[in-house]
Amino acid sequence: MENALIKSESDYTNKYKQSTENPERFWAEIADNFTWFKKWDNVYKCNMKSADFKWFEGAKTNISFNCIDRHLENKGDKTAIIFEPNNPNEEAKHISFKELHHEVCKMANVLLNNGIKKGDRVCIYLPMIPELAITVLACARIGAIHSVVFAGFSSLALATRIQDCSCKTVITSDGGYRGAKTLNLKKIVDNALTDCKSIESVIVVKRTNEDVNMQNNRDLWLHEELEKVSSTCEAAILDSEDPLFILYTSGSTGKPKGMMHTTGGYMVYSAYTFKNVFQYQENDVYWCTADIGWITGHSYIVYGPLLNGATTVMFEGVPSYPDFGRFWEVVQKHKVNQFYTAPTAIRALAKESLDWVKKHNLSSLKVLGSVGEPINEEAWNWYNENIGNSKCPIVDTWWQTETGGILISPLPNITKTKPAFATLPLPGVQPCLMDENKKELHGNNVSGSLCIKFPWPSVARTIWGNHQRYLETYFSAYPGYYFTGDGALRDEDGFYRITGRMDDVIIVSGHNLGTAPIEEAINEHENIAESAIVGYPHDIKGNALYGYVIVKNNPNNEEEALHLRNDINALITKQVGAIAKLDKIQFVSGLPKTRSGKIMRRILRKIAEGDVSNLGDTSTLLNPEIVDEIQNGKI
Ligand code: 7RM
């Protein structure tokens, strides 16, 4: 990757220009950094109208080989993964590339032994322990498609995801540690599997040693399976366009979308962006605090770093355990050079005493990163001054599950940073802003809907099993353009600031939540007729959820009301997960609706925000009188 490193501002400008003038040559040169068992016939063949994307078509490779085997000769003993356990008194593990190779080969053999073949879907439902990264790489090694489900999701959410892509096996653990809590993962899997016919086996990692129920002819202990296999497993020779993984993301309506990513383009793009956005140098230690259950963990804990032969930290815990100094203790302990986290974590830690920060030596830090939602200026400044000591550039990286890798970000010590701005597109990325008439806005000092007008190597190829939905969601609002769902502005310097979602996705503590599945969960309650969820600004979480709920029989007193609120949140926890619980619940007798029956969320949003000065025209509503009632109602 060294030859793909952007070295200065003028180098950035030149490379950006080359990438638009001759994308084929630009990407071919970057792709030359990898091991290909056979070279490509075409660098790319893409159609933004039919959403048909092919990168490095005809080429043969294996991303697991590129993450591990390729480094064995020169840095076999270098640490690939530092595992930092939830409990600070448990020893951290340093896994070298050689050891990782050994573990991944064995895990791949366990999968093969249990009938997993190329193209089969493997669900991974694990806490942040080494086996998670190892299983991901083992799937990639044999061409099985991994579908990692965040271990905070409920059994119903897990079941939906297993069913949607008919996974053949689930890899899970007896339990998991997260702060002071333990998660009963195996129990959640057992509940999910009552309704998943495609599952043939469950492979269980021992982590917490608690008693679990092992079902005959289905459940297997990983440590027993590992005893049966050898540690040699050749990497499968795969096509560049063979599927690598499916990762689910919330949609504004209906069930989650299984974004499918493929091998070659994802490999080239995740590695290229990791190297440049973090300016990773050979002996650096890099730490991204995300969970591998999200795209940030896929691209920037596992694939991007390992493709670059980097040392990547995997942290099992949470920022508040055992105290609010944990992040900084880990930075000091492992001498972290690049630190990548989410605004919600920054805001939460900024609320606590600065002593938690000052107690630790953070002088190893060179680059700070932010991802997942807009970072407000206040949080940016706190991060810059107190964590970066005003010496570490902050890379505010904008991207999505769908984009596979970072598209808009400053390059540290190369391009300028500006609080709350993701700034400039990376080479190869062509963003644009569209107005209400679906025309591209030219020039600076404009704002509109953020689109991308040229393909890049790691764009998702489809929604698993539903290409039509993929087309409709991303390629039909602005024909010929990829529509991100985000609003943005471009300032006088051409810098982008992402202003937030334009659809019914609400980002709460960095988790994207579609309103529809939450509403569906609430509506299951026998005393609830209908509901509408909106977001409102929250100091720490960015957004919190506000639910307007139509009850059939009004609660008679405070106690009954409290009971009903608890019922509602219990239903949400069960169906979607605890992250989607409502902060505020207002019982109403109706919801403002248009004549076509659509809920006017704009009005509900304003009321939730406490900004009722300008509700706009409500006269076209079917039931304008309800607006007053809701405004004057209490929660
Ligand atoms: C990487 C990730 C995607 C959505 C995206 C935005 C929001 C992400 C930023 C951001 C402002 C950022 N993938 N988002 N990064 N908004 N500034 N730097 O988060 O699929 O889970 O979410 O997240 O709305 O569309 S994701």
Residue 153 C-alpha to ligand 1 middle, in angstroms?
A: 19
Q: Which residues form ligand 1's pocket by a CB distance below 6 Å? A: 249, 294-296, 371-374, 396-401, 422, 484-486, 498, 501, 507, 512
What is the torsional sign of CA 256, 578, 128, 274? positive
Whether residue 90 has pLDDT greater than 80: yes
Q: Which residue has the least CA distance to atom 1 on ligand 1? A: 400
Query: Taking residues 511-517, what's their average pLDDT?
Result: 88
Domains and CATH numbers, the chain: 2-471 (3.40.50.12780), 505-632 (3.30.300.30)
How far, in Å, is the centroid of ligand 1 from the Cα of 21?
28
The C-alpha atoms of residue 90 and residue 82 are separated, in whole angstroms, by: 13
400 alpha carbon – ligand 1 mean position (Å): 5
Q: Closest residue (by CA) to atom 8 of ligand 1?
A: 372
- At 452, the pLDDT band (50, 70, 90 cuts) reads very high
Average pLDDT over residues 415-427: 97
Report the length, in residues, of the chain. 635
pLDDT at 619 over 90: no
User: Could you tell me the distance, in angstroms and rounded to a whole number, from the CA of residue 576 to the centre of ligand 1?
Assistant: 20
Nearest protein Cα to ligand 1, atom 11: 374
State the distance from the centre of ligand 1 to the C-alpha of 287, rounded, in angstroms.
Answer: 19
Return the SS3 of 611: coil
Per-residue pLDDT averaged across 444-464, rounded? 97
Instruction: Return the HEC string of 549-609.
Output: EEECCCCCCHHHHHHHHHHHHHHHHHHCCHHHCCCEEEEECCCCECCCCCECHHHHHHHHH
Cα distance between residue 127 and residue 186, in whole Å: 11
Of all protein residues, the one whose alpha carbon is nearest to atom 5 of ligand 1 is: 400
Residue range 159-166: average pLDDT? 97
Average confidence (pLDDT) over 6-24: 98
CA of 633 to the centre of ligand 1 (A): 34
pTM: 0.91
Average pLDDT of 378-400?
Answer: 97
The reported pLDDT for the residue numbered 597 is 66
Q: Cα of 401 to ligand 1 centre, how many Å?
A: 8
**Average pLDDT of the residues of the chain:** 95
Tell me the mean pLDDT in the region 355-362: 98
**The ligand 1 atom nearest the CA atom of 402:** 20
Lowest average pLDDT, out of 62-66, 106-110, 527-531, goes to: 527-531
Query: Which residue has a Cα nearest atom 26 of ligand 1?
Result: 400
pLDDT at residue 620 is higher than 80: no
Choose among 434, 423, 420, 416: nearest CA to 486.
Answer: 434
Mutation pick for ligand 1 pocket among 288, 340, 373 (CB with most ligand atoms within 8 Å): 373
CB 186 within 8 Å of CB 172: yes
pLDDT digits (tens, 9 = 90+) for 570-618: 999 998 899 999 999 999 999 998 766 668 888 999 999 988 887 877 7
- Does pLDDT of 337 surpass 70? yes
Probe residue for ligand 1, chosen from 246, 344, 398 as the CB with the greatest number of ligand atoms within 8 Å: 398
Q: Give 312's pLDDT tier (boundaries 50, 70, 90).
A: very high
Say if residue 259's pLDDT is above 80. Answer: yes
